[in-house]
Amino acid sequence: MDDDTFTRTMIRRLLTADGLEVVGEAADGDQVLDAVAEHRPDVVLVDLLMHRVGGVEAIARVMALPDPPYCVALTSLNAEDAVVQAVEAGASGFLSKNEDQENLAAHVRSVAGGNGILGTEATTAVLRRMREQADERPNRGAEARAKIALLTDREREIAAFLVDGLGNTQIARRLHLSEETVKVHLAHARAKLGGLNRTQLAVLLALAGLGAAS
């Protein structure tokens, strides 16, 4: 059994053991569209290191479909550029292959419910590293800062907490606001920036060098 097959087998066992249904698999990126068309999944886990068609391209192809499923990129902790590309292609979140396997099903359920998976330790580590290295990405950083400038100070302040993986309830407590107020400000921020999902907004802030702790 090769490493890719072993990884898919382990993920399938973990998800099914937690009550989730794995409706199909694809051995490489060029098989993803056919698998999605056949099985119509709610969430697709996409390895960014596939060979014939890479994970980023596979995600872009899936997101170009009418009413596409959510996509989650599976990557390593040292692949920030690939993570940015995957999120720009439309991924709703990303998970490290080293993520705590016991939480995998919970993360998939979160994405299926329309929520991101920004609270994971690995995801937060990648976002923080993007923020810390913003000066080393002058083109991306400048572009990100120009977009963030469209937000009000309050929207930017609230959204910055996404980089540290905080949810609406945690942000509300930090800023002594109602959870509904936080939700509304984040919705306005996402709409102003072209309908970004929470993960895309968090990555944009990180690329701009922003974050609650910055």
- The full DSSP string for 39-95 is H--SEEEEETT-SSS-HHHHHHHHHTSSSPPEEEEEE-TT-HHHHHHHHHHT-SEEE
Cα separation, 72 vs 108, in Å, equals 8
Cα separation, 127 vs 109, in Å, equals 22
pTM recorded for the entire structure? 0.76
Residue 112 has a CB neighbour count (10 Å cut-off) of 16
Cα separation, 24 vs 43, in Å, equals 11
Report pLDDT for 132. 78
- Does the domain spanning 3-117 belong to CATH 1.25.40.10? no
CATH of domain 136-207: 1.10.10.10
Cα separation, 206 vs 37, in Å, equals 34
Domains of the chain, by residue range, sit at 3-117, 136-207
**pLDDT mean for each 10 residues of the chain (214 residues):** 72 88 91 94 91 92 93 76 82 76 80 74 76 75 91 95 89 96 96 88 89 65
